[in-house]
Structure 1
């Protein structure tokens, strides 16, 4: 029996996926998360075999959640299930360590098949992103002058996402259990590393890099 964790911030999609996956004879949904931080906590607690991960989620996006899950629960294979076929999102998830990437308009049968494939230790990429993946392989990340997100620490990427989502400094501090001054220090560090000098520029950068949805 393959244990599956589903992470998606849209309740109707999350519940629908759980119901359909549970109906498969060889699959069992062990948990469902509404954001990346919850997905990470459940991956630690439940030790799933496969995690189905949305990319655009509040607090901790799918890329960062995947990166941390792969570091802390390496037995879990992650499948990105997203509405985005854009290079930034595909590249971000591939670098984070996903074993599969599917577009949300795929048939459920394809998703169920992908779960079995990645559980075997193989890779499953939707035909819909084949051309994007080819371009990603041709253009190496370290040759892309637009990509500077790698310079940020894990916490800085999380703070950047929350800033770009319009969350107030005080609320960021409360959510991350740190002081307002620490949030401001992170923001200054992010701006210095990226060479950006306003919240508007940070937001534009976060959208372009796939850290937060447009």
Structure 2
């Protein structure tokens, strides 16, 4: 079995080194890189293509939520595990909406961290003690709300394309699946971003996932 390749992201150098040492001592885990800010983390994730990114949230340059969104948007197969001191609901749910597959608090035991890395590396979702109950309760409440079409300002075709974007597909993949030209897809995407008032693809993905939006073809 190949080792899980892990990118460690934290702006506190001492904690980052400690975490690297902890992970390096685990069988089946290989630390392939480290970053001290969110912008660098997104760049390194794109170039290194690790299996798992262990991500702090409070960081310079780019916070962990936005860095997570960028990583998931560009490489949806990379799993992000948040490891942070921040346990407020806004931070937890923002990370989940951005695409994080796991959320642990700093101070988690070695066994918890290992189990979480293995779980998200296998495509599962995992939350630390206390976090899981709040997330489950939140999304149970969301599901109980009356349903309505997401983003009524979009046309049916635009909603279909937004669904594909939320799946992490690029314009070329969308054009092939929907049998449209790349230029047509690009124009639709520009219209979508303008209507949703977002600056880039990652923000559109976060909004679509928050709305529980899926492509009509799935």
Q: Which interval holds the TM-score relative to the shorter structure?
A: 0.5 to 0.7
Structure number, greater radius of gyration: 2
Does residue 175 of structure 2 align to residue 153 of structure 1? Answer: no
Contact 1:79–1:115 (CA under 8 A) maintained in structure 2: yes
Normalised to the residue count of structure 2, the TM-score between the two structures is: 0.64
Please report how far the alpha carbon of residue 134 of structure 1 lies from its aligned counterpart in structure 2 after TM superposition: 3.1
Question: 2:166 maps to which residue?
Answer: none
Deviations 1:143-172 (A, max 9, x none): 8xxxxxx855359x9xxxxxxxxxxxxxxx
Q: Provide structure 1 residue ranges, at least 5 long, that are not aligned to the other structure.
A: 144-149, 158-214
Runs of 4+ in structure 1 over 6 Å off: none
Aligned 1:94-173 pairs, distance under 5 A: 94-140=96-142, 152-153=198-199
User: Counterpart of 1:20 in 2: which secondary structure?
Assistant: helix
Question: 1:15 maps to which residue?
Answer: 17
Question: 2:7 maps to which residue?
Answer: 5
How many residues align structurally? 149
Please report how far the alpha carbon of residue 21 of structure 1 lies from its aligned counterpart in structure 2 after TM superposition: 0.4
Aligned 1:37-52 pairs, distance under 5 A: 37-52=39-54
Question: 2:66 maps to which residue?
Answer: 64
Q: Provide structure 2 residue ranges, at least 5 long, that are not aligned to the other structure.
A: 146-195, 204-218
Please report how far the alpha carbon of residue 84 of structure 1 lies from its aligned counterpart in structure 2 after TM superposition: 1.5
Question: 2:77 maps to which residue?
Answer: 75
User: Counterpart of 1:127 in 2: which secondary structure?
Assistant: coil
Contact 1:85–1:132 (CA under 8 A) maintained in structure 2: no
Deviations 1:114-144 (A, max 9, x none): 1111111111111221232134214549x8x
Aligned mate of 1:36, from 30, 38, 43: 38
Q: Distance in 2 between matches of 1:136 and 1:152?
A: 25
Deviations 1:28-70 (A, max 9, x none): 0000000000100110111100000000111100000000000
CA 1:138–1:153 in structure 2 vs 1: closer, same or farther (change >3 Å)? farther
Normalised to the residue count of structure 1, the TM-score between the two structures is: 0.65
Contact 1:18–1:29 (CA under 8 A) maintained in structure 2: yes
Contact 1:63–1:93 (CA under 8 A) maintained in structure 2: yes
